[in-house]
Structure 1
Amino acid sequence: MKIGLLSDTHSYIDDQILRLLDDKDEIWHAGDFGTAAVSERLSEIAPVRGVYGNIDGQDVRQLHPKVLRFDANGLDVLMTHIGGYPGKYHPDIRQEIRTNPPQLYITGHSHILKVMTDKSLNNLLHINPGAAGKHGFHKIRTMVRFAIEEGQLRDLQVIELGKRA
């Protein structure tokens, strides 16, 4: 199963992003789509799993939940937009992570790409793909691609999409 992961598009999707996603089995979006049109455009390429972010209006919130937990080819995944990092989880999600930690925890919001493990929670892998859009303080637009095989994450790629402005 091949996954394209992005976040914080803030209504911006360009041809480069679409090309990088065109062979994916699923596209995951960690919130701040900007508009439902972004979700709809991505769903023309592959099925979309996503969560709404703090800037998303009712159009996006009707399509995507605040928190999404699912099994992806044997991998337990938890996704939310504002979720914090290992050791500093957001209060909204902290209890669930501590009592029932997923194998993969995905967040957005910070516009800072991070891939890190939480050794205190059975090596939970945390990924924030950074921001793929042009709105925000980040300098480089980013996204992540990977594969999931029999419950294991493989072939993780961090992709720089170019300068924000």
Structure 2
Amino acid sequence: MAPPAAVAAGEAAASEDQRDGKGRRRRRPDCAGAGARILSLGVQAAVMAAALALFLLFAAAAAILLLHLVVAARAFRNQQHGRSRYRVPETSSSPPPYASRVGLSPADLRLLPCFAVSTSSSSSSPQLCAICLEVACAGERWRALPACGHAFHAACVDRWLARAAACPVCRAAVSVSMS
């Protein structure tokens, strides 16, 4: 064991190293502590850079996937509606099949035969107008279509035939005979 005087001298020397002449504590530069701090900051910076790179990678992948889905959905929607930006337009002069057909003119409608509903025919089996869903009453004006024989209120079927020259029930073409 060391003599007590040597221990006291060692403590005094240690205290002299830590204190300056005015009694203030002096810090000794710790080279190992500064290097560890720099290394720690470097590791933190590397980890943050790696995390940021992964985030940007996943964000870019998600953006590319979203862009692909938008383009595919738009192409599918255009295909469903029968139109395409890249299709060459047709040069034929015939109207497309989806074009609306024109109905009969008022002069053609006057040429179609009409009849009045009698009291005996309405009581035996009530006739129903398929356009307005009303039952035939005695004395009303009805029109029977020549092609198929379906009968309707004259006012109801005239409005229909002005838009489309076909029977509202069976879609048979209605033609006016000039006799």
Answer yes or no: same fold by TM over 0.5.
Answer: no
TM-score by length of 2: 0.18
Bigger strand share = 1
TM-score (norm 1): 0.19
More helix by share: 2
